[in-house]
Amino acid sequence: MHVVILGCGRVGSSLAGAVERLGHSVAVIDQNPAAFNRLSAGFGGRAVTGMGFDRDTLVEAGIAGAAAFAAVSSGDNSNIISARVAREMFGVERVVARIYDPRRAEVYERLGIPTVATVRWTRDQILGRLVPDAVTPEWTDTSGSVLLTAVTPARGWVGRRLAELEARAEVRVACVTRFGDGLLPDGRTMVQDGDVLHIAVAKARAAEADAIIRTGPDHD
C-alpha cells in the first residue's frame, strides 16, 4: 500500500524507513527541504516539499492512492488540519495525528481522528514507573470509555486461572507478558509469579479492578 507522512523529523523519518522496510511505498512531506537529510541513504520513496494541508502538495505525494496518512510534524494545528483534509477530502481510511496538547487530542479523538498525544503518553509512561500503583493506560478507545493498562497481579492470584481473575475484576486479559515474552491467554492459562497482565477494562471502574488484581482474591 502507499503511505503519506507529514513531517520529516526524527519520528517521521524513522516511520518512513519502517514503512518502506515492510514493503510499502511511502512519500514524506516537509516544508523544510533540509529535513529530508534525515532519511536513510537508501530511501526509495518520494520527498515532497510543501505544507501538509495544501491540496497540490498532497496530490504530489500521492494522497489520491494512499491507504494511510500520518501527520507527525511539530505543529498540532498542521497535524490535525492535514489529517482532516486527508480523511475528509481524499477519503483516506487510516489516518493518525500526533498532538502535543492532550486536551486537544481528546477533542479530536471524539471527532473520529485517532491521535497520539505525545505529552500524555510520556507522562503516563513515567508515572507508571515512578508510582507502580497508578492506573496508567497503554491505550484508550476514541470515546475514552475503555482503556488497556498493565498490572502485576498479587501473589495470591498465582496458580489460579485467568478466567477467575477476569470474572472477579470484571476485565479482559488481552495479553500476558511472561519472562519477557508475550502470550495470548486462553481458558486454561494460569497466573504465574512475575506475570504482567495487559487488561482491557471500563474506565469508570479501572481503579477498582486494579485494586482487586493487585491485592489478591482473598482480600476483603
pLDDT band of 169, cuts 50, 70, 90: very high
pLDDT band of 129, cuts 50, 70, 90: low
pLDDT in tens, 53-65: 999 999 999 999 9
Other CB atoms within a 10 A radius of the CB of residue 73 amount to 25
Establish how many alpha carbons lie within 13 A of residue 195's alpha carbon, considering only the half-sphere containing its beta carbon. Answer: 27
Which H or E run contains 16? helix 10-21
* Burial class (CB within 10 angstroms; exposed 0-12, middle 13-18, buried 19+) of 83: buried
Q: Are strands 115-117 and 137-140 parallel, antiparallel or unpaired?
A: unpaired
Indicate whether 35 pLDDT > 80. yes
What pLDDT is attached to residue 62?
96
For cell 507508571, name the residue.
128
| Mean pLDDT over each residue of the chain, to the nearest integer | 87
Other CB atoms within a 10 A radius of the CB of residue 72 amount to 24
pTM above 0.85, yes or no: no
Q: 6 with 70: CB under 8 angstroms?
A: yes
Q: Residue 104 corresponds to which cell in the numbers above?
A: 486537544
Q: Across-strand partners of 199? A: 149, 173
Which H or E run contains 99? strand 94-99
Q: Residue 145 corresponds to which cell in the numbers above?
A: 470509555
pLDDT in tens, 95-114: 888 888 877 776 776 676 77
